[in-house]
A = this chain, B = another copy of it.
Amino acid sequence: MKMENIRTDLALENQEHISESGHDLSGVDVTTEIDDKLDITVTWVSITDETGASAMGKPVGNYVTIESGAMKENDTAAHEEIIKILARKLGKLHNLQPGAVILIVGLGNRYVTPDALGPQVCEKILVTRHIGEDSMPQDLQGRVRAVSALAPGVMGITGIETAEIVKGVADKIKPDIIIAVDALAARRTSRINATIQMSDAGINPGAGLGNKRAAINKATMGVPVIAVGVPTVVDAATLVNDTMERMLDEMAEAAPDEGTFYDMLRGLQDVERYGLIREILDPYDNMFVTPKDVDAVIGRLAGIIASAFNIALHPGITQADVNRYLN
């Protein structure tokens, strides 16, 4: 079964979609941890071979998803736990050496609020690469790695493909690892701003808010690339398609006599219905659904992600330091 008609950057949603359709998940391993008290769910999806990659529409690799409604609210206890989980899982995705040099890249357009996550994360990173040994403040000595952070903008504004900029800079500063932060598209509105995905498969071509990104991964960059993303939008056609499907389910339950017809409607394959929807939706393509209070939420999420990076990358920095540093 193909994934083209379901627009999502979340491996978790690809996997759900396959399961719902009753297909086989060969080549895909899934483990889940749930914290009921704090309402945090962590799912680790491993795509282990090309069969799984083909079914999932994503490359071989590991995809960790942290989900929590607390991300959308000001639940500070949950945030601190999420920061710790993120930092731990980052360490599991990639084993950082003591002297490692890290390049953090904030993808996305800082002038479009739901696409501004990457640049906003960069602004909250404790950047240290340029501070020489002798200039390093006393309270940081021996507690930090060399971290740099860059927000390369978007091709529509610079005229340069983002992957070209990242590769050019990486060739010069030779980081041991690149961590790329991006805004994503999800399938379900419930996932928006309530999910963080981290993956060692890097940034896929075509990911993000319709920017048709060129790939930023180990193959193209020459060093490991960890991709970290939050879905901040749902593609409009996907929203309509999914909502209709759920409506049909509810109507079918309420009117069992019409069973045959609803079966027919639902039998209309996802891809056909999605195609019809795309035709109907105004040719004004790439429309996205996003919540109204997106600015406050993007800022909060950027803070959570940057805190996790600061803790994970700088060995001697704790959550308390992070709290005070970001004030």
Q: Taking beta carbons and an 8 Å cutoff, which residues of A are in contact with B?
A: 72-74, 76, 79-80, 109, 111-115, 127-130, 137, 146-153, 155-161, 164-165, 167-173, 188-190, 192, 209-211, 236, 239-240, 243-244, 246-247, 250-251, 258, 261, 273, 276-277, 280-282, 284, 286-296, 303-304, 307, 321-327
Chain B residue contacts of A111, Cβ below 8 A: 113, 295
Chain B residue contacts of A147, Cβ below 8 A: 159
25 inter-chain pairs at a CB distance below 8 angstroms, sorted by A residue, are A130-B158, A130-B161, A148-B159, A160-B169, A165-B168, A165-B172, A168-B173, A171-B171, A171-B172, A188-B282, A192-B284, A210-B292, A236-B239, A239-B239, A239-B240, A243-B281, A247-B280, A251-B276, A286-B291, A287-B290, A288-B291, A289-B289, A322-B327, A323-B324, A326-B327
A287 contacts which of B112, B284, B292 (Cβ < 8 Å)? B292
A284 contacts which of B112, B261, B291 (Cβ < 8 Å)? B291
Instruction: Give the Cβ gap from A313 to chain B, nearest Cβ, in Å.
Output: 12
**Across the interface, do A160 and B292 meet the contact criterion of CB distance under 8 Å?**
no
**Across the interface, do B164 and A295 meet the contact criterion of CB distance under 8 Å?**
no
Chain B residue contacts of A76, Cβ below 8 A: 321, 324-325, 327
**Across the interface, do B172 and A167 meet the contact criterion of CB distance under 8 Å?**
yes
Question: 16 more A-B contacts (CB under 8 A) besides A148-B158, A192-B287?
Answer: A74-B137, A80-B324, A111-B113, A128-B159, A129-B159, A146-B159, A147-B159, A150-B158, A164-B172, A188-B282, A239-B240, A243-B277, A244-B244, A247-B280, A284-B291, A307-B327
Per the bound structure, the CA–CA distance linking A276 and B74 in Å amounts to: 30
Instruction: Give the Cβ gap from A140 to chain B, nearest Cβ, in Å.
Output: 9
Copies in the complex: 4
Say what secondary structure dominates the interface of chain A.
helix
A164 contacts which of B114, B173, B236 (Cβ < 8 Å)? B173
